[in-house]
Structure 1
Amino acid sequence: MILGAGIMQGPAIRTARDMELETVVIDGNPRAPCAGLADRFECIDLKDKEAIAEFALSEKKSAGLSGVLTAGTDFSATVAWVAERLGLPGIPYETALNASDKSRMRQCFRSAGVPSPAFITLDAVPGAAYELPFPYPAVVKPVDNMGSRGCRKVSGAGELIPAAEDALAFSRSGSAIVESYMEGPEYSVDALVFGGDVTICGLADRHIFFPPYFIEMGHTMPAVLEPEAAAALLDTFKLGIAALGIRNGAAKGDIKLTPSGPMIGEIAARLSGGYMSGWTYPYSSGVNPVRGAIEIALGRAPSETAPVRRWTSAERAFISIPGTVRSIHGAEEAAAIPGIRDVFLRAEPGSWMVFPENNVEKAGNVIAAAETRTAAAAAADRAARSILLRLAAPDQDTDAFLSEKSENPPAGQFPPDAFTLSPEQRSLLARIPDPDFLPAGKGSPQIFIIPFPGLYRPEITDYTGRSVPESIEAVRKITGLPLPFAGGGSENGSPVLGRRFWAALVRGGYQGAAYTVDSLIRNREA
């Protein structure tokens, strides 16, 4: 039995079928994307552990249910509840709670002396006079959610109350933790655990952006680390697994290499989501850890765990500014790039998008694999930049986002501008004329752009690595307009895009610029 029929559970369902096992898959969404892969699908809310246990018991009596697992969900505690009730292989329910509730997890680490940050637990929003028992910066997060939902960094007391409100709203149990912020690069690691023996199944660099939130814009497998540092990270991870009591199952950890050494962010009693256990580790190593997790769930030792190749696999995300998707361009082009293995679209025409504050609000992901890290990363980066989302105009959310002034953005502004300009470049931007709405003949064949040469240098890129010339080409592609640069009188009374266009590009990247063009056309044809 597999809990979850989303994209992240697809590898488990397919692997079980490849192992000639009958699959019974449960999800609360009757239209879950991988429900059709199951031999049998049952629609039950994954939070309803009693109903799932009752259903599992009937399956065991009628069909001989042999094991239960999940991957990439919040519901390892439900798995443990069912396994314990039915006498199936797995971890104890209390152990699963240790790995599901971040407050309990931190207490286990503290008791066992496992390096992890100082923390406190909140069951309500603190008062204005509340003082943390450790210095800022800190991180506030729900005790029982994944995907960085409700998780943010706070730099001072003035930010604590709104962060706590957000974290508590995302908590199913109504609790949050505040922990000391850990400086340093972050890594993800997967493992299989059988009889207390830990088999590492991948150590990856995580690429985290957009403070105060923690948005993973990708990961690269394997991580680039000195052997001593990697060994220290993995040793600390294993100590954390033991402290939680995980002896038979899987474990997924997020761990930082701080100036004082490795410190554990968290450990879940399951294989990872985020395309790691089901995609990037198999691509890089030739090993499918999901197979081992299924074997452990059946009471068997994991097999075929030794890597058979040493490639690199890179996953990259692409995001959107706020608005409603009008059309999507470039997905087929991205899929055709050498080295690209997968393209996952989370958006479609009509989707309402936001600038992500967590890892479930991204527009999609691409995955590449190659013999070298350079080739894999380059393919993934190129593919992510190839997929373009055109937003519908008019839209109040897009207008509000673009109207946030970019001339002098405050330090740490969120959402950030797509392009970071120097004071000199901002001064040049302010001096560009803005003739967008000068009278022009209806249906004029061309729209021109006033040049802004100070932005054309290749080192000036947006937060996905897209240069200004590449962004202009993206606007031309999705609008279908040539948009030549003005000069020499060639515009001859046609509409000309000036400061407003460039400010939209700086603020919202190619999407903001294309939206400005679409808005101008709509206004002229109204």
Structure 2
Amino acid sequence: MSKQKVIMILGGGIMQLPAIRIARARGWRAIVAAKEMSSEAAKLADHVEYVDLRNVSRIVRVARKYRQKYGLDGVFTAGTDFSITVARTAEEMGLPGIPFETAFSATNKARMRAVFAKHRLPSPRFYTITSLKDCREAAANLSFPVVVKPVDNMGARGVRRVDIKEELAAAVEEAMEHSAAAEVIVEEYLQGDELSLDAVVYNGKITICGVADRKIRFAPYFVEMGHTIPTAIDEQLADQVVSLFKRGIRALAINLGAAKGDIKLTPGGPVIGEIAARLSGGYMSGWTYPYSSGVEVTGAALNIAVGLPPGELRPLAGRTSAERAFISIPGVISSIEGLSAAGRVQGIRNIFLRTTPGSKVIFPTNNMEKCGNIISCAATRSEAVELAEKASQSIVLRLAPDNRDTESFLFGEEGESAYSIIKRENISALKALPPVIEPRAEKSSGIAVISIPALEREKGKDWHELPIFEAFQRALAMSGACLRKEAAPDKLNLGSLFWRVFQKGGVQGALYLIETINALKDKPEQLRKILRSKLPFQP
């Protein structure tokens, strides 16, 4: 009888669940180490260690403890920042893996860019920033816009585009806050769509395990609102992308384990964004690629981590899987509606909820600030995308009324608007419409929204691809407000105020406004002050 394999998995969140499940299903002993642990990860693990994964010496001590008791065959992570911790631990313990220096070059963006430059691989021109002097040098030698990034973080935390020199220092300062090394890179901004790729590497042989189209939104930030796999690009371009990815893996000397890459499709051809020495996060390696291909790439990477061949990696299925995020405007969640409806959409495989009632939410500036994700799988690309979008549109995050953060967003300039009303007849009507028309009666019998002439002609969609007319109908139905062509004498009539809020915050914004009015109905002076303080509609 063969000895039971023992694997130490770094990370106890959603992205590590596939690895923990697969290890346990194989009968391996799973040790899960993380600073914070999801209840599901803790329940699945054979052993749990609460430890800061940046503390490499502590992780090595934990690994030695388990090796003495059970033996230890490998160390693994996926979807985390801690490839260097894995590498150092494997190196110290004599386990399979890549050298620490290789992992460091695949984690630190400045070192990574230097490796690509040395091997003459297409990647953005960059400057490493540790001081204000470096910042001035970068501004003098790079054309704007540029992108500012911490050298040692993931999930687009601290990453933003900077369009003018005067904004560079502030962006660098912000990025520094997200860097443990207090180091930032400023690099040229590259226009074009972006792809994500995964690969496993066994004794130098690279096998590609997925190429996905990424959906990036909310400039100047880079928030991934979803991906679709396999890619829709043509075979010739895909071959160029894969070839570049492999050259990048070899340049970094990743010869055992896994690699994750971001490739930008610029007008001049594919350019390497980043390559990490691990499998991807963002639900690709653990969910969408297995759904679309029938191949458990996480299982292959686990095999390599314990010294086994990866196993069969040829795709067994030819389906499409789409992941889509759902987000919120700022505020405090009062309730979450539509989860059951989203789950009933045919073809939906997973709904991951990352917030709860009572939680404070913000409009996302990075990939850690989203509220949840939905994954679909279908026979065709169009069907998979449609299903994921339909499910994400079903979920409504209601916000607590009378909240300063919510109102700052709805009436301020920060954040992207849900919709833009652009038809001339609608803009003219809204410019002529008062923000609010109060009832003639002493007490109103409800809330009315004054219509605009041709909303059905507007073609805009919000962050979740929900069409504007459908969103308006949903907001009315959920709020209990009625629609009027003209002001009703017995109702509080919302004119351009409603349309300003709806344009900025979509269904969420409309519900917030109406629920705030209802919450303050017994405080007429406070309500009147709030209604009169808001600015009129602006196209």
Cα distance between partner residues in 1 of 2:430 and 2:131: 46
Percentage identity across aligned positions? 46
Partner of residue 468, structure 1: 468
> Which of 253, 268, 273 matches 2:276?
268
Q: CA deviation at 1:472?
A: 2.5
Q: CA deviation at 1:110?
A: 0.9
| Structure 1 stretch displaced more, 12-21 or 461-470 | 461-470
Change over 3 Å in CA distance of 1:261–1:428 after alignment to 2: same
Partner of residue 122, structure 1: 129
Q: CA deviation at 1:141?
A: 0.3
Q: TM-score, normalised by structure 1?
A: 0.94
> Does structure 1 retain, via aligned residues, the 8 Å contact 2:320–2:380?
yes
Q: CA deviation at 1:42?
A: 0.8
> Does structure 2 retain, via aligned residues, the 8 Å contact 1:124–1:168?
no
Partner of residue 108, structure 1: 115
Q: CA deviation at 1:492?
A: 4.6
> Does structure 2 retain, via aligned residues, the 8 Å contact 1:189–1:202?
yes
| Structure 1 stretch displaced more, 301-310 or 429-438 | 429-438
Aligned residues: 514
Change over 3 Å in CA distance of 1:122–1:440 after alignment to 2: farther
> Which of 358, 364, 375 matches 2:372?
364
| Structure 1 stretch displaced more, 369-378 or 463-472 | 463-472
| Structure 1 stretch displaced more, 453-462 or 86-95 | 453-462
> Which of 138, 160, 184 matches 1:176?
184
> Does structure 2 retain, via aligned residues, the 8 Å contact 1:385–1:466?
yes
Partner of residue 86, structure 1: 93
One-letter code of the match for 1:295?
N
> Does structure 2 retain, via aligned residues, the 8 Å contact 1:429–1:503?
no
Q: CA deviation at 1:185?
A: 1.0
One-letter code of the match for 1:5?
G
> Does structure 2 retain, via aligned residues, the 8 Å contact 1:117–1:179?
yes
One-letter code of the match for 2:468?
V
Q: CA deviation at 1:129?
A: 5.3
Partner of residue 214, structure 2: 206
Change over 3 Å in CA distance of 1:287–1:127 after alignment to 2: closer
1:314 aligns with 2:318: no
Secondary structure of 2:73 counterpart:
coil
Q: CA deviation at 1:456?
A: 2.2
Q: CA deviation at 1:203?
A: 0.0
One-letter code of the match for 1:521?
N
Partner of residue 302, structure 2: 294
1:75 aligns with 2:82: yes
Secondary structure of 2:74 counterpart:
coil
1:434 aligns with 2:435: yes
Secondary structure of 2:106 counterpart:
helix
> Does structure 1 retain, via aligned residues, the 8 Å contact 2:326–2:373?
yes
> Does structure 2 retain, via aligned residues, the 8 Å contact 1:323–1:397?
yes
Q: CA deviation at 1:488?
A: 7.3
Cα distance between partner residues in 2 of 1:384 and 1:31: 23
Q: How does 1:480-491 map to 2 (within 5 A)?
A: 481=480, 483-487=481-485, 491=488
One-letter code of the match for 2:157?
R
Secondary structure of 2:102 counterpart:
helix
Partner of residue 197, structure 1: 205
> Does structure 2 retain, via aligned residues, the 8 Å contact 1:210–1:414?
no
One-letter code of the match for 1:94?
E
Change over 3 Å in CA distance of 1:128–1:13 after alignment to 2: closer
Cα distance between partner residues in 2 of 1:423 and 1:158: 35
Change over 3 Å in CA distance of 1:128–1:253 after alignment to 2: closer
Partner of residue 26, structure 2: 19
| Structure 1 stretch displaced more, 127-136 or 243-252 | 127-136
> Does structure 1 retain, via aligned residues, the 8 Å contact 2:421–2:458?
no
Partner of residue 410, structure 1: none
| Structure 1 stretch displaced more, 454-463 or 170-179 | 454-463
Partner of residue 421, structure 1: 421
One-letter code of the match for 1:451?
S
Q: CA deviation at 1:18?
A: 1.4
Change over 3 Å in CA distance of 1:127–1:288 after alignment to 2: closer
Q: CA deviation at 1:477?
A: 4.9
Partner of residue 498, structure 1: 495
> Does structure 1 retain, via aligned residues, the 8 Å contact 2:423–2:457?
no
> Does structure 2 retain, via aligned residues, the 8 Å contact 1:390–1:478?
no
One-letter code of the match for 2:178?
F
Change over 3 Å in CA distance of 1:40–1:442 after alignment to 2: farther
Cα distance between partner residues in 2 of 1:396 and 1:48: 39
Q: CA deviation at 1:487?
A: 4.2
Q: CA deviation at 1:140?
A: 0.5
> Which of 405, 408, 415 matches 1:397?
405
Change over 3 Å in CA distance of 1:414–1:222 after alignment to 2: farther
> Does structure 2 retain, via aligned residues, the 8 Å contact 1:125–1:165?
no
- Unmatched runs of 5 consecutive residues or more in structure 1: 405-412
Partner of residue 166, structure 1: 174
One-letter code of the match for 2:451?
P
Q: CA deviation at 1:128?
A: 8.2
Cα distance between partner residues in 1 of 2:305 and 2:485: 69
- Unmatched runs of 5 consecutive residues or more in structure 2: 1-7, 524-539
Partner of residue 529, structure 2: none
Q: CA deviation at 1:434?
A: 2.8
Partner of residue 408, structure 1: none
